[in-house]
Structure 1
Amino acid sequence: MAKLSFCKYLVGFVFILSFCLTTFSSVEAVTTPTTSFVTAKKISVRTKASTSAKVLGTLKQGTRVAVYTKTKSGWAKIKYKNKSAYVPNKSLQTSFLMNKSKIYIYKEDGLVKTFKYKKRDKGWDLWNGSYGEEMVFKETVGGLLQVYGGAYSENVALLKYPLKTGKSWDNWIEAYKYRVKITSTTKTVKTPAGTFKNCVEVKDGSYVSYFAPNVGFVKGIEKGKVHSQLIKLKKR
């Protein structure tokens, strides 16, 4: 297998960095709500964590919501029309898109690079780097995608949803095919930017990538050595 690491994808043939389930076993308060999106075609929003509770409305597939708590019985507490409400957690997927309100600073092989959100175009998020790089991402019910060429149709799947340890898939970059596999969804990863819990670990040959919920890519390890990592995350 050729050694194409996570940080070696291309956008317009310019070298770029690539980025990137929170599991609760009981009711757990979230200091900062996490962003998730609806995976079912349509779900009911209820006043209480029960299928017999009053229905306040519905949410369509792809709708993003802020999750404040998750219960042991399988419900997620959200805000709906400025009121507390509940939806079934099984119909939600935690987002792994980069946070648009943050500035990402990475260090790769000694080189420090800064990335800022630019705009959304045709459903894709565009990010600009300090060295002229451009990153393009999109998150769907099927997974987290990244453009690697000059057209949106040329993309690879960084993650495949629903996340599950052992899940694998093939990515193509032009005529080159390589195998990607999820080896964990519960890793705790430390970088100079902080400690990230419930990270997804993805392996591509000798390269290992880590993605944090609501943050994206946080660390890449090649042959046992840190190749790139998030060193700072700050507000815009």
Structure 2
Amino acid sequence: MKAHSVLVVDDDPDISNAIEIYLRSEGIGVYKASDGEEALQKLQAHSVQLIIMDIMMPGLDGLQTTLEIRETCNVPIIMLSARTEDYDKIVGLNIGADDYIAKPFNPLELMARVKSQLRRFTGLGAQINQSSEDAEHEIQVRGLVYNKQKKTMTLEGEDVRLTPTEFHILRLFMENKGRIFAIDEIYERVWKEPAFQPENTVAVHIRRIREKIEFNPREPKYIKVVWGIGYKLEE
């Protein structure tokens, strides 16, 4: 894996130091912050490809920090929390997190999630920045357009601001217009790991995509539910 940098945001130095050890053992650079305000400062000063964010912190907590980050930046965010209720997970995903892992966590699982997010984000970045002299190839569904060379999504000519995970879900649908995807398959193809109770995670990301591409997310015209089966992109 090429050299990347991760920002670890946690007010517990034992946890942030342990995560740093695991990351550096994989050749990944590490910046650390103990609260949300410091995290925002570090983001302004350094280029990072992933954020590992604790939810419960004094001052500006992880949820509020994520909201502020998402106003200007689509870098992947993995949330950490000692609270394991589904409600907390859904809240975190709803406000812009890409993944969620409960404390205490298995270091191997955390590193697998880190590598998965880095692959998606840096792969997307490389594709976006690559030069292209060939004719553009586009997939269009009414006003929604996916440019396969530039790796961009536009709606009625305007860029759609997506997180890397949202982009990969929508790309999967765009490249397979009309095909019905089971929730497990969506998870396995996007997250690149076996699905284990992925319903909430996938549903939250699709809800966020709908909020960005649908005129009325409550009555979606693009991504439709096929009850008892999964989702599809309506042609």
TM-score, length of structure 2 as denominator length: 0.27
Quick check: which one's helix share is greater?
2
Tell me: higher relative CO, structure 1 or 2? Use CA pairs within 8 A at least 6 residues apart: 1
